[in-house]
């Protein structure tokens, strides 16, 4: 059974920033900056951690690119949950303390439940008249990976003809497109597809992307709660990979 707790608070990044640089994190409380693809597994892990240790954890959800400036300036956060390449950016900024590798984000081809258009490969997305949606590479690492693969395969223009104006900033919109049958197919992160499992099918395809994207829970070295942070990281090391696998973050 999934553990939930009222003490786990999810807020938007604007609220985090508006608190100002001078606000201190309360003693025995950790702030987790959680990339927008990972709140479900992190909510479960945080609730169990707090239930076990009594340490309160506040989670705020936004894009990793939104959190990076806060980490680089040591402005907010004790933990960053993100995917590659943001781990490298944290290290380059000198803000790295420790990490746990909890899984992978990988693009998956998803279609309407039952696959009524019999889509079996990414190359099928070139079919005339097919309705496709993708994430915009301007905002999305997944979008960057997909566009690079389409370019390599020589089918980018044909697929984008079927995308039209359906380039989204986030993956949730892609799931909604399939759920409402507004499109026939999308390419989205594996974990997000898992959350829409009742509304879509994932088509198994070979992994053709040039990059692998690990998911990392990163402890930040400017924390004001070093002992609580160490306990949290050790807890994630023990429990995190299994929970993330349950939520579909596998390659």
Judge if 56 and 131 occupy the same domain: no
> Looking at the predicted structure, is the pLDDT value of residue 17 above 50?
no
Nearest to 218, CA basis, from 106, 43, 24, 67: 67
Question: What does each C-alpha distance from 202 to 109, 121, 184, 224 come to in angstroms?
Answer: 6, 11, 12, 43
Q: What band does 166 get if pLDDT is binned at 50, 70 and 90?
A: very high
- Asked, for residue 2, whether it belongs to a domain, the answer is no
Q: Which pLDDT does position 140 carry in this prediction?
A: 86
Bond before 85 cis per omega within 30 degrees: yes
Structural domain count, the chain: 2
193 and 158 in a common domain: yes
State pTM to two decimals.
0.77
**Whole-number pLDDT of residue 169:** 87
**Do 20 and 99 share a structural domain?**
yes
| Domain containing residue 145 | 107-203
SS3 label, residue 239: helix
């Amino acid at each position: 059974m999934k553990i939930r707790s009222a003490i786990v608070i999810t807020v938007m990044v604007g609220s985090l920033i508006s608190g100002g640089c001078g606000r201190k994190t309360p003693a025995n409380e950790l702030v987790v900056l959680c990339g927008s693809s990972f709140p479900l597994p992190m909510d479960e892990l945080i609730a169990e951690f707090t239930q076990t240790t009594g340490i309160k954890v506040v989670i705020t959800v936004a894009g990793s690119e939104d959190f990076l400036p806060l980490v680089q300036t040591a402005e907010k956060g004790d933990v960053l949950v993100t995917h590659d390449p943001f781990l490298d950016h944290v290290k380059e900024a000198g803000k790295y303390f420790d990490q746990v590798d909890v899984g992978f984000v990988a693009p998956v081809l998803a279609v309407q439940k039952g696959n009524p258009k019999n889509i079996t490969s990414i190359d099928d997305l070139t079919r005339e008249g097919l309705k496709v949606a993708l994430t915009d590479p301007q905002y999305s690492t997944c979008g960057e990976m997909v566009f690079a693969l389409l370019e390599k395969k020589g089918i980018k223009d044909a697929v984008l003809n079927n995308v039209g104006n359906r380039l989204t900033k986030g993956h949730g919109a892609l799931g909604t497109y399939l759920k409402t049958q507004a499109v026939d197919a999308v390419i989205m992160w594996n974990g997000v597809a898992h959350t829409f499992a009742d509304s879509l099918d994932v088509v198994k395809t070979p992994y053709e992307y040039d990059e692998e994207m690990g998911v990392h829970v990163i402890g930040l070295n400017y924390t004001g709660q070093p002992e609580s942070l160490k306990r949290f990281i050790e807890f994630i090391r023990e429990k995190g990979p299994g929970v993330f696998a349950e939520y579909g973050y596998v390659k």
